[in-house]
Structure 1
Amino acid sequence: MEGGNNDDAVWNASGVILDIDPGSWADRSPLHDAACQGRLFALRNLILQGHNVNVITIDNWAVYHVQRSPGERAKPEALVFQPSPIHEASSKGNSECVETLVRWGADVDFDIPHLGTPLYTACVSREIECVRRLLREGANVQKGIYMDSPLHAAAEKDCTAIVKLLLDFGADINARNMEFQRPVEAAPPSSLTEGFLLVYEDRDYQEQLPMVAWAKASKAIKNNLRLTEVIAEPNISTNQRKVQAILHMHLEQRAAERAQNPIM
């Protein structure tokens, strides 16, 4: 392949051999495997045997060795950051493993470059039970990856339930990411999450939420002047998304009430 001064050329399969340093990230610790696979009993036994709950790899670091041409000695090229056990558990929805790791000293805000925190990982993976456990164990609701917050991740994934949970724990709805976007701007256009965040931003609506919860949504929208003002946006599509979010929250509230009192 010509153009040897082109850095992209080094990744050509015929010209590059990746040699993994022995004992590095290829050799995941048993704790990683137990957390990833949700094997709680094995995880507890490994912890009791003295395994480090914050381990990244067996030797805690890893380096790619890149051989750029045949016969050339492989040289260290870049530090590779691998997930910790709590990142593994959070991404796979293994909430009991998450709780066990935290209670045995795992850093609930363990921030790994290019991965972020366990909370951010759980939001990206749409694992609401892991999000809930991490928040209850004291995870920083604002700490994600760089300027991207967990709320940005949940909004981008259109996971309204996680968005609501994060807001309940004090997430900043006006936080800006690297693209200077707020969470509502990170949500997919015309999505339920975008509508929910648009409604949530309006404090007048927040005061009327109890009324929406017990009244029929259509009647509440029609008869309540202040709620009508909330959806009186110049853009009709914005109004539609707000109404959709209101109806969705009303149905969720009714379902929760019926679960608590089946005779309703």
Structure 2
Amino acid sequence: MDDEGASQNASKSQAAGGQVSATSPSLLLMRDFVSDWSPLHDASIRGRLLTLKKLISQGSDVNLVTTDQVSPLHEACLGGHAACASVLLKHGAKVNGVTVDWHTPLFSACVSGSVACLNLLLQHGASLHPPCDLASPIHEAAKRGHVQCVEILASHGVNIDYNIKHLGTPLYVACENQQVNCARKLLESGANVNSGQGLESPLHAAARSCSEELVMLLIDFGADIWAKNAKSKRPMELVPPGSPLGRLFLQKEESCPAATNQSAVTITLCSPGCSHGNTDYPTGMRLRMMKV
């Protein structure tokens, strides 16, 4: 049985309820086989280099796309098959082709976390920034915890603080998904520690997830512990009262009081264990401030 026949049988087995690995590349974007799925697409996503070369030598179009505008190069990168991607590119595959979901091959490489595919695409002139905010490579890499992909994109000059309205910055996405190593790499690459999604800072996202490691990382890089989100909540107010993380925030707030923020001073003065408020303000002033 040749490769193509084996692939078809495998597809039929999956459709009949056969078990499929949860890490199967074809499941990464939750796509089903479509009517115009070609042997070239199949060889690309499965990494069948010899079959791919044979199909190309027989005249298969490397830029053949499905009804969703998915090209063989998209699939090779989604599967993390750099050798297949290289052959496709050498035969004229479009490096910046876009699917109906605005996915580029670079985006697919960031989904799979394939450093080899990512480097290859960049060598062939892949655009660092998305044609549409619905599919940003740097956000996808940060979300999935692909640190090397984040590092490579940063070293090639990607906008490290690229802010997408519905996602925020890559750092915010990393914190929201508790990807500590990606958050660290973004910060080391110069990401703005306080730039998140609207008024929500990365520290708000870290506090909400109760990640002490992320909170400490962000604070070490100068995160504003007094920042308020759209609901006027500080990061400290997003953690369970009395939790270790809550006590950590309290210690930080006591050591760095926001003297110019009357509401913040009020909270600090009234916090349990706070010992520096009673001698600084007369009783009458403290009572007035507590009403703010």
Q: What's the TM-score bracket when you normalise by the shorter of the two chains?
A: 0.5 to 0.7
* Residues 101, 135 of structure 2: 8 Å contact kept: no
State the one-letter code of the partner of 2:104: S
Which one of the candidate residues 182, 200, 205 is aligned to 1:148?
Answer: 200
CA distance in 2, matches of 1:83, 1:194: 35
Change in Cα spacing, 1:197 to 1:25, as seen in structure 2 (3 Å) is: farther
1:115 and 2:167 aligned: yes
Change in Cα spacing, 1:50 to 1:193, as seen in structure 2 (3 Å) is: same
Aligned equivalent of 1:258: none
State the one-letter code of the partner of 1:102: A
1:128 and 2:180 aligned: yes
CA distance in 2, matches of 1:121, 1:25: 23
5+ residue gaps in structure 1? 1-19, 62-80, 205-229, 235-264
Whose strand proportion is higher, 1 or 2?
A: 1
Q: After superposing the two structures, state which structure 1 stretch, 181-190 or 105-114, moved more.
A: 181-190
Larger Rg: 2
5+ residue gaps in structure 2? 1-66, 70-97, 257-270, 276-292
Q: Output the TM-score relative to the length of structure 1.
A: 0.59
* Residues 83, 112 of structure 1: 8 Å contact kept: no
Root mean square deviation, CA, Å: 2.4
Which one of the candidate residues 32, 48, 57 is aligned to 2:123?
Answer: 48
Cα deviations by residue, 1:3-43 (Å, 9 ceiling, x for unpaired):
xxxxxxxxxxxxxxxxx996554251111111121111111
Which one of the candidate residues 12, 16, 38 is aligned to 2:113?
Answer: 38
1:92 and 2:133 aligned: no
CA distance in 2, matches of 1:175, 1:27: 34
Tell me: higher relative CO, structure 1 or 2? Use CA pairs within 8 A at least 6 residues apart. Answer: 1
Aligned equivalent of 1:232: 273
SS in 1 for 2:232: coil
CA distance in 1, matches of 2:230, 2:272: 30
SS in 2 for 1:202: helix
* Residues 174, 183 of structure 1: 8 Å contact kept: yes
CA distance in 2, matches of 1:51, 1:94: 18
State the one-letter code of the partner of 2:184: R
CA distance in 2, matches of 1:83, 1:26: 8
Aligned equivalent of 1:12: none
State the one-letter code of the partner of 1:152: H
Cα deviations by residue, 1:141-197 (Å, 9 ceiling, x for unpaired):
110000000000000000011111111111100001000011101223443322211
SS in 1 for 2:217: helix
* Residues 25, 82 of structure 1: 8 Å contact kept: no
CA distance in 1, matches of 2:186, 2:100: 25
Aligned equivalent of 2:58: none
Q: CA deviation at 1:83?
A: 3.5
State the one-letter code of the partner of 2:172: Y
* Residues 156, 188 of structure 1: 8 Å contact kept: no
Q: Output the TM-score relative to the length of structure 2.
A: 0.54
SS in 2 for 1:144: coil
Aligned equivalent of 1:251: none
